[in-house]
Structure 1
Amino acid sequence: SPEMAAESALDCVARGYTAIKFDPAGPYTMRGGHMPAMTDISQSVAFCKAIRAAVGDKADLLFGTHGQFTTAGAIRLGNAIAPYSPLWYEEPIPPDAVEQMAAVARAVPIPVATGERLTTKAEFAPVLRSGAAAILQPALGRVGGIWEAKKIAAMAEVYNAQIAPHLYAGPVEWAANIHLATSIPNILMCECIETPFHDQLIKSTIKVEDGFITAPTAAGLGIEVDEALARAHPYTGNGLHLEMQDAPCDYVNGNAFEGGAPSVKS
């Protein structure tokens, strides 16, 4: 719902956040990059329009995708949402197609962000050389840790690119992201995922206040993990938080991106 997304964005702005991430852009399908349906483009435009109208210039829009589109499809969608001036267009095509990502970056007037699925500086170097992205999103749980991420950040400096470490793997990765952020000059922002369980899991050792994170000063990553709480809540499901769906893009009935919060099927 664009209206509910706008309401949520306003709540974030009221708590000091300066950027809002959302991803309404249609199905994440195992069948590879697809051309977005017109209904998907209209839905994405509606989200951007509603959120921009709600937050004005108080917050940036972070438009997320998960490599769903063909190059041509990504260009169509990107140009449709460009009037709302998103800060980034995240992983619009599969991230291993570097030259095609660069084609999207040249054709769309929104900074392209990518990197959550890339590993080590060797995979980030071609992205920078080709101009495929202005914002890199290394996931510290995957890229090789803080030290490797610092090398990637140094490479990005040479190409006038910024770093926004990706957050997907919970509060331990978040703590690592924060340490990286405090140690590099070209940090753009640190993503946050606020859940009461995550907060309890690290015993509230990191807090977001008025949109800012105060870096921890304790030893190591600066957090204290509640091991008993973790053991008391093992994951017993067989589905991932974000899974490619088997069904292809539906050009007749429209699509709903349900990667983060799947609806209950009757």
Structure 2
Amino acid sequence: MKDALKIEKIEFFKVPPRWLFLKITTQEGIVGWGEPVVEGKADTVWACVKELEKYLIGKSANHIEDIWQILYRGGFYRGGPILMSAISGIDQALWDIKGKSLGVPVHELLGGAVRHKMKMYCWIGGDHPDVVLEQAHEKVKAGYEAVKMNATGGMDWIASIKDVKKVAHNIKLLREEFGTDLDIGLDFHGRIHKGMVKRLIDELTPYDPLFIEEPVLSENNEALKHIYGYTNIPIATGERMFSRWDFKPLLEQGTVDIIQPDLSHAGGISEVRRIAAMAEAYDVSLAPHCPLGPISLASALQVDFVSSNAVIQESSIGIHYNQGFDLLDYVSNPEVFEVKDGYIELFQRPGLGVEINEEKLKEGVKIGHDWSNPIWRGKDGNFNEW
């Protein structure tokens, strides 16, 4: 007797601007989609998924949790961005298959929705002030009531007062233009070292950011002890943390208000749902990181819909990375991502809720990509964090 959900085939699509899509097909032709990628390391994650393929072919896609445990614990070395991103894409695809096989959205399988819509925000850059107002108006016109931008460009370990004074300029422009009608998140992007964070907070506080993201790199999370009590602005971090074990010490430390696991980096739907539940126990909210494609965004929204502590969701629609190919270009039902009055409505379609346009994917594969983030240097030639 055939198992309709027995995994039979795995395919990859490396497409611009910087994405890798995974297609898992079962014996009966049910298809699940995932997005296993590290920005700038697409080929490396592809190779990792190929190494894990032996644990998937011939297995039932129904056994999502058992497969997750084997992929994570079956190797002697665990965690890290490459392995966890590979697991993430596989996990997304398995949930997509299971939802489609049962004819229900993934959020129904996770316990059912706690909300009927999810608040959204979108990037407007922020490195260059000349585009900030223009992009903010574009996002507001598109339905957003919240945006996020970089707080700074490259900065020295201890920056000059001149550079410090530039930092508040962009958010000042937005506050003068929109007042408090627009929520504005500021991403420090790990570009700032501990010695500068308090000084920059002093500059930014008068303009009421919604949150400050990655005030220091995640490998320096102990520095948050010196930052957290200094400001009343919510502190967000977590995009470069890859499992519940990475988040555990941060939550125990009590120096974060918003965690931002990425559905394509932190173990997929299965693991981010667990991370969200852990955070809820510490009275910490959830705002998944998502600068990637439609599958990653759909996966994040499925977790948001069932997590009572989810407060806002990042979208990469129209982000400056997506030149030539945007998130909606690869989707046959782009209407599911329509933002109305700042929110996306609860998904109703089975599985992840997105239909991938394979013809468009095949076009993208012919172009491919070799994306990597820029290397920045200061005036003296020393490396600056990007």
TM range (shorter): 0.7 to 0.9
Q: Does the aligned pair in 2 maintain the 1:113–1:136 contact within 8 Å?
A: yes
Query: Which residue identity lines up with residue 330 of structure 2 in the other structure?
Result: L
Show the 5 A alignment for 1:1-266: 1-27=128-154, 34-195=157-318, 197-203=326-332, 204=334, 206-210=336-340, 211-234=342-365, 236-240=368-372, 242-243=373-374, 245-247=375-377, 249-250=378-379
* 1:233 aligned counterpart, secondary structure: helix
Distance 1:62 1:251, change over 3 A: farther
User: How far did residue 205 of structure 1 move?
Assistant: 5.1
Q: Does the aligned pair in 2 maintain the 1:205–1:222 contact within 8 Å?
A: no
* 1:191 aligned counterpart, secondary structure: strand
What stretches of structure 1 of length at least 5 have no aligned partner? Answer: 260-266
User: How far did residue 60 of structure 1 move?
Assistant: 1.2
Q: Does the aligned pair in 2 maintain the 1:23–1:63 contact within 8 Å?
A: yes
User: How far did residue 179 of structure 1 move?
Assistant: 0.3
* 1:35 aligned counterpart, secondary structure: coil
- Compute the TM-score of the two structures, normalised by the length of structure 1: 0.85
User: How far did residue 40 of structure 1 move?
Assistant: 3.2
- Structure 1 runs (4+) deviating above 6 angstroms are none
| Alignment coverage as a number of residue pairs | 248
Root mean square deviation, CA, Å: 2.3
The range that moved more, 216-225 or 178-187, is 216-225
Q: Does the aligned pair in 2 maintain the 1:205–1:223 contact within 8 Å?
A: no
Q: Does the aligned pair in 2 maintain the 1:98–1:130 contact within 8 Å?
A: no
Name which structure has the greater RCO, CA cutoff 8 Å, separation 6+. Answer: 2
More strand per residue: 2
Q: Larger C-alpha radius of gyration, 1 or 2? A: 2
The range that moved more, 83-92 or 187-196, is 187-196
User: How far did residue 7 of structure 1 move?
Assistant: 3.1
- Compute the TM-score of the two structures, normalised by the length of structure 2: 0.60
Query: Which residue identity lines up with residue 197 of structure 1 in the other structure?
Result: D
What stretches of structure 2 of length at least 5 have no aligned partner? Answer: 1-127, 319-324
Q: Does the aligned pair in 2 maintain the 1:205–1:216 contact within 8 Å?
A: no
In 1: Cα distance, 2:207 partner to 2:347 partner: 36
In 1: Cα distance, 2:359 partner to 2:166 partner: 43
